[in-house]
Structure 1
Amino acid sequence: MSSKIQRTALFLTAASILTLSSVHVHAAEQAPSREELLSMLKQQQRQLDELQAMLKQTQKQAETATAKATEAAAKPAFLDTVQIGGTLEFEATETEDFTDADTSDLSLAKAELTFSAKPHEYVTTNIVALYEDGSNNIALDEATIEIANTEAFPLYTTVGKWAMPFGNYDTAMSTDPLTKNLGETKENAILVGATHNGFSIEAFAFNGDTQKSGEGNNIDQYGLNLAVEGEEDGLLYNMAASYLNNIADSDGVNDALTGATALKDYVGGISLYGSLSLNGVSASVGYVKATDSFQTGELAFNGQGAQPVTWNTEISYTMDILGKETTFAATYQGTDEALALSLPETRLGGAVTVGIYDQTSLTLEYLADEDYSVAEGGTGKDGHTTTAKLAVEF
């Protein structure tokens, strides 16, 4: 378009020069009248106006093309938002259980593959496929759609299958805390939340695997989570309190229920969590409890309905040793009325994790467990587990 305008301008300029030359050469022979001169000037003005209009149109088209190019460059392509990651964990274990039986094993403890994408600034998708030792196949562990952009708007929602925000089970140990065995609840659910200045509130609902006896299969299980996190003078803090109206639907309790999944009534659960971190030192506490007792035929303890409780305390310290990030961790944990969940009454343990390469770590862990007494239905004996784990994240 610009070359066309240049040719037009040259043509008009040449025409003007020829016209003026013609007028000058033949002025003596035939001088144009005033009306003819005005007509010639008007014609040239129209030609200049047309040229100016063409220039404006070209400039507008160029600005539009530049704006579109800028917008396209600012908006990432869909494939640029796709992220693939995962974890592989290989373990060597030696165990002495409460029956004094010694065993040792090598296992691929965990293989996890994660896919995430952000097709829109308000939409994030996440899929997690998981294989764990003892299972015979790869299972869909999580799959979620999150509608959120909390930097622009405080409200958000999540739908799909994932672990409900009931309890926090982060740990520097190799083995998950006992609180996770009682509290973790993975379901197909919908969650609505809001966050502002580190404070968040979340409400969720789902149709669990258990239902009240004599009632239909409905979305009648729900929970609430309140949390606050932040930093003050280098001190990181995180605190949360959660409620679940049916703790029987947690993964650990659901697997331990006796009889059918129809319950006389729902048994609620509460969870409390807090952590502090400063200068490489971290400390955390967790507590999960059923708010009432189950029926004896559902979950029993010592001949009566069980009201399970689990708690966890942990402290860790991270430092560099010979250029390798090293974390020392120690934990003291316990349970009450949780024998039916195959949990010990107390647990004491320690672990050392060394980052041997980027995203690659080696963990050595020792756990000493104490079973419930014989009078409570246990063995009254001690057991231990030693684990060496090689983990790679990518």
Structure 2
Amino acid sequence: MSYSLKPLALSLAILGLVSTSVFAANESEPNQQMEKINAQTQLLEKQLAKLQAEVVALKTQVKLEKIAVTAKKHQVVAKKTPKTSLSTGSGTEVPLSQEKVTPEASAPADTSVSQELILDPDVYMPFDIYVPGQSFVSTGPYIGVPIQYAGTNLVINNPSINQDVVLLKLRSDINKELAARGTVDVEGRHSHLLLSGVIEGAAYYADNGGGAANTSDINVTNVSLDGFLLGPTEWTSAYFELSYKDNVDTALTNYRSANSEVFINKAFIMLGNFDKSPIYSTIGQLYVPFGTYSSQMISSPFTKILARTKARTVVLGYSPMLANTFYASTYIFRGDSHASSVSRINNGGVNIGYKFDQGLVVGNVGAGVIGNLADSAGMQYTNNQPLFNGFGGPSPYGSEQLVHNVPAYNIRGLFSIGGHVDLLAEYVGASTRFNPNDMTFSGHGARPWAINTEAAYSFPLFNRPSSVGINYGQSGDALALGLPEKRLGAVFNTSWWRNTLQSLEFRHDIGYAASATSSGSNVTGPSGTGVADNVVTAQLDYYF
């Protein structure tokens, strides 16, 4: 019996093994089919993604071609209609041949953009439209100073007054341009950083009067890196400027090339949105809105040297984006010079003006007051050590302690006629005399003042924007600050290459009479020479 069961068991075992392999083969066929389907699905997904990317690329290419055609049309129009004007429409920062007197918009609801964006609508965009996605750090020409082949954009001497207003208007223009392009605004989620800057070199030759030796030099006169931060909300913006200082500190070394330094020149936060309100506020380190100091000349005007004031301040202003309107601002800060021994907020002022556009004539007139002129940069530092070196000293060459504060006032007018002729006049002066212990001129308390007048004519030269101009400046009771008494000057400016400026200036300075004397902080100041100096200066600016 046992022998008969063994063949049967063996047969059943063999049959089981065969059936198991058959079932396994039958089960593996669906798995292979599923793997094949998955592979085909992944391949289709890749092909679909590739097709979607090609569609996006084609749409982007079409959009960029439209933008390029539009920009080319605007550039052709700009080349045909070059002009130069004096004012930005902000009321104060209006260097001659730099920015327009007409505002960027004729009404708050206007969707037009400024001439700067029309000339080259891409330079101020806070991201690169030629790359898919958003780039939140980008570059664009020097903030507020677009350089194009049009006379409106020639920049020579930028005083940086009311720079916060200029930046807020620039942001408004950016928003309008983005809206016109149908670009999605991402400011609610991110901040944009727009970087720009300038590198400036100059050479001069001076024929010094009175038998003094002639002098000459080649120097890097300015290097600045500016950052304009937009967002993350539509009401907040910020700005900073890193600058290079070329002064030689002989206490460290006489090797000038090794003695350069970089410092924070300006840094401030702006609260405002000119698309929704003309009211704005600024807090930080900036030039307070006292005076304009516009100039087409390479050399700074006497008014700027005497009164331009940089402080850590709070500014509250009103600047409508209208063609014909009043504007105003007020500010407070703690000045370095003081009549009290207590450190406190002790200085401030008010600036008012009216801008207008009558077609043939556009202009900007205004006035301002400041509580203490002694806080201006020209009075804080004169670079005359070991003579009176300014109220900022260091001791014993100057002292911030004053017997009393000396207020000052400013009156200005800037006009553009027919888009080619520009005229400006500005006066700034102390309203009362300094105490003789603080500053003197020829034995009595000094009451310094200065005036600057200029006229310019702009024209295309070989299809490049160019201008010629003349100026007359005069100062009074300002010998302690190292100023000449009178100045006559002439200048030629052009922009031969994009984002550059070339300038050639001649100036004739006449010193105070040889009998004039001065002092400051009871320290002897410069004496009059009664002679004249002639200086020729060439300058090249590269903006990025």
| TM-score, scaled to structure 2 | 0.57
Match of 2:364 among 218, 230, 238: 238
In the TM superposition, residue 212 of structure 1 has moved relative to its aligned partner by 1.1
Residue 288 of structure 2 aligns with which residue?
A: 164
The 8 Å contact of residues 337 and 401 in structure 2, kept in 1 or not, is answered as yes
- Counterpart residue number, 1:313: 453
2:292–2:412: 8 Å Cα contact kept in structure 1? yes
User: What amino acid is the match of 1:376?
Assistant: A
What secondary structure is seen at the aligned counterpart in 2 of 1:367? Answer: strand
Match of 1:54? Answer: none
Q: Does 1:376 pair with 2:516?
A: yes
Q: Alignment partner for residue 299 of structure 2, among 143, 150, 175?
A: 175
Counterpart code for 1:176? S
Q: Report Cα offsets for 1:8-29 as digits up to 9, x if no partner.
A: xxxxxxxxxxxxxxxxxxxxxx
| Conservation of the 8 A alpha-carbon contact between 1:199 and 1:227 | yes
SS at 2:303 equivalent: helix
* Matching of residues 1-394 of structure 1 within 5 Å: 73-76=184-187, 81-99=192-210, 100-119=212-231, 120-134=233-247, 136-196=260-320, 197=322, 198-213=325-340, 215-255=341-381, 256-257=390-391, 259-278=398-417, 279-377=419-517, 378-394=528-544
Between the aligned partners of 1:188 and 1:348, the Cα distance in structure 2 is: 35
Between 1 and 2, higher relative CO (CA 8 Å, sep ≥ 6) is seen in: 2
| Structure 1, 343-352 or 97-106: larger mean CA deviation | 97-106
CA distance in 2, matches of 1:81, 1:232: 37
Residue 72 (structure 1) shift: 9.9
Instruction: Give 2:29's aligned residue.
Output: none
Shift of 1:300: 1.4
**Aligned-partner Cα distance in 2 for 1:169–1:250:** 13
Contact 1:95–1:104, Cα closer than 8 Å, also in 2: yes
1:102-138: per-residue Cα shift (whole Å, max 9, x none)?
0111000111110001112111100011114326311
Residue pair 1:118, 1:125 contacting (<8 A) in 2 also: yes
Are the counterparts in 2 of residues 91 and 108 from structure 1 also a CA contact under 8 Å?
A: yes
In structure 2, what is the Cα distance between the partners aligned to 1:98 and 1:267? 34
Change (3 A) 1:180 1:80: same
Paired residue type of 2:213: A
RMSD: 1.8
Q: Is the radius of gyration larger for structure 1 or structure 2?
A: 1
Question: What is the CA distance between 1:79 and its match in structure 2?
Answer: 6.3
Bigger fraction of residues in strand:
1
SS at structure 1 position matched to 2:515: helix
Instruction: Show CA shifts across 1:89-112 (max 9, x none).
Output: 100110133552201110001111
Instruction: Give the residue type in structure 2 aligned to 1:174.
Output: I
Assess, with a 3 A threshold, how the Cα gap between structure 1 residues 354 and 191 changes in structure 2: closer, same or farther: same
List runs of 5+ in structure 2 lacking aligned partners: 1-181, 249-259, 382-389, 392-396, 518-527
Residue type of the alignment partner of 1:391: D
SS in 2 for 1:211: coil
Contact 1:98-1:371 at 8 Å conserved across structures: no
Compute the displacement of 1:73 (Å).
Answer: 2.8
1:18 alignment partner in structure 2:
none
Q: Quote how far apart the aligned CAs of 1:265 are.
A: 0.8
Name the TM-score, length of structure 1 as normaliser. 0.79
Question: CA 1:259/1:76 → structure 2, altered by over 3 Å: closer, same or farther?
Answer: closer
Inter-partner Cα distance in structure 2 for 1:380 and 1:296: 23
- Residues 78 and 363 from structure 1, CA distance in 2 versus in 1: closer, same or farther, beyond 3 angstroms? farther
Contact 2:187 2:230 in 1 (8 A): no
Q: Count matched residues.
A: 323
User: Is the Cα contact below 8 Å between 2:403 and 2:437 reproduced in 1?
Assistant: no
